[in-house]
Structure 1
Amino acid sequence: MKRFLFFAFFLPVVISSCKKDKDVTTAPVYSFSIAKDTISAVIQQPVAIESSKTGGSEATVAWIVDGKELSSAQAFAHVFEVAGFYKVLFKARNQAGTFEKAFIIDVAPQVREGGESKYISRILEYLPAPGQFINVAPGNMASAEGIVGKNSGLVTLGAYGGYITFTFDHSIQNKEGADLAIYGNPLKPPTDWSEPGIVMVSRDDNGNGKADDTWYELAGSEYNSAETIKNYRITYYNPKAYANVPWKDNQDNSGAVEINAFHKQQYYPLFASNQDSLVFTGTLLKSTFGQVSGIWINAGFSWGYADSYSSGDDYDTKKYNSFDIARAVDASGKPVQLKAIDFVKVYTAQNNKGNALMGEISTEIKGAEDLHFGK
């Protein structure tokens, strides 16, 4: 009887112990439908990653994008609206441990292919700085629209910082060699008259068709010069009359865009939204205005600027300045890789009042062209 009672007591203990061993929790292990750690994607197109548990006990799953939990499903599915690099972390957790796997999603903007013209299709913004031609041709909105669809228009950007922004009916792709041509009207030596403009480019990272994304400078020959000033800022003040337009900058300098006897309209842009003052920022190139053998000149730079008689561009033969998207740099000067660009901005890059005969230094452009179009 005692033996029976002992066995009866021992049997549940053994059964309970076996059940406990069977229910031991183990850390989860997963595999994924994509083997690479970096995944290429395009805005507004779905990205999918499937997870499969290959070992361990059941676990709670989370997909975390740039620190924010996005989903608790076994499969990740998301549409990224803005181009950029995203860190996607898969995390599975149970009482025994945690399994993690990180992916980098490289989301690119859509590249608009095809197109009907190699020339500018649309002016997005025209905001010139004050100048002798502003408010009349070639310094009005009609002149800005006049560079669309050809390389024989003419628009002036006024003094330092004045700019124009435009686009094409397709993306300009970054291929071997120069990608973009910008036509100006510089004069060759010995009567040098260049009015260099810096060129900026941007991608439509958010896909909205507007130039509201990050801008990159196409670094020219003077980008690393000790005489080049980065993060330059200038403010022009409207005299609200045919009068000199005063300015101050962030280098503790002041001066004026001076009127002359040849152009007697107001020099401050009357179509600017702010009729009290205008602020422009960017990179300032050194002045090249001076006199040689009794002739007033403004010399160009070797390469990389609009409206500059550049030897490195072979302007004498090509009749345009050429630009390579591969020379794009970010705000800190770090090179960036752009597969294609959608928007172009050109602004006057020197601050010099010139004189009563020649007027201020003002970049002028006649049009722009995709050098790869149809090739």
Structure 2
Amino acid sequence: MKICSCLRYFKTAKRSNIHPFGIRGLSYTHDTLILGIETSCDDTGVAIVNGAGNLLGESLYSQNIIHLRYGGVNPVIAHELHRENIDKAVQETLRNARINIENIDAVAVTTKPGLLISLQVGVKYARFIANRYHKPIIPIHHMEAHALVARMYSDIPFPFIVLLISGGHCLLSIVNDVDDFLLLGESLDNAPGQILDKAARRMKLRNIPEYSKMAGGRAIEAAAKYVKNPELFKFTSPLLKNRDCNFSFSGFKNSLEKKLFQKESEHNIMGDRVIPEVNDLCAGLQLAIAEHLAVRTERAVLFCEKKNLTSGAHKNIVVSGGVACNDFIFNSIKVIGDKMGYNVIRPPPKVCTDNGIMIAWNGIEKVRKKCELSSTIALSDVDPKAPMGKNIIADVIDANIPVKVTRLKKLYNIY
């Protein structure tokens, strides 16, 4: 069902005073229908999920290829493309699901964190639907949605540990419930996906035809599969003296640039040419990042065991976010899980990256939990830097738990 043209929507959204209409009771059933809208960064994702966890329809407009030429996400261009794609994505999702907008029970929309002007596009559209069709709005925290989407595909009881790794975030948390998160550690500087993307650009992987249309992290993983010597380039692991679960990745980029400059000088590499050891350099960087993630995750497990935060027969670690699609990194966390007696679970790759499915599912989780719904939402509620849950990083530091780095180069033998 056509809602309105994109241009008409944005004109309407600017002049409308969204009025409270009183939220009708919304009870959870297997037939509950949630429309999810995700515009936190550079992907316009929309999906419809029912209370039974079935995906009825979806649409995803990725901007990846466009932003590759800019060397990263350009917020202004991302905003304009969201404006261009949001109406098309919603209409396409409704057609795929064979559902009229009137049959939707609520609209779940990402309100935090992310790029401010990108988030606003999704929120404005959700407000339009809420106003015109009298639907409640469910505000969604982007990272909480990443953490919970695995429960749509696997039986994962609370509590569980989650490692969220992406181009914008890196954190460890305990998930006690749909709306109860304890932050164990976070990145002190860059996110791993951001470093992988920058490293891929510096290594000029785009000049190799088979990697030219891949995102940076994916290109590095693909190139690393052809490694000859994964220890040809060694990277110093950061924060080894810090007995916490925080992360730091900026040093990897600086170290890679030094190693690359040395090899380019040695081989007299100029212009678009790539160093002959590029596969080994990709493997070395990937290995160092994986070991850094693994050692912090192991300390998180030990802390949770010490504080009885993961009691019960089911002990699970969920790995989600765009970087979770990297099989080498995921298998590295599985090594830690096997060592500590934990199941390590990853949602399907299509929902590890940003998408509307995880937003719609988080809406289902909140309806089932009877979390508060809204009749509208203010643009002032959009928060680009929202924290995730209650911060207990100081408690982790006070626990002072020593952990040795688990060496993971053997994982390259699986290729």
TM-score higher than 0.5: no
What's the TM-score bracket when you normalise by the shorter of the two chains? under 0.3
- Decide which structure has the larger Cα Rg and report it: 1
Q: Which has the higher strand share?
A: 1
Q: Which has the higher contact order (CA 8 A, sep 6+)?
A: 2
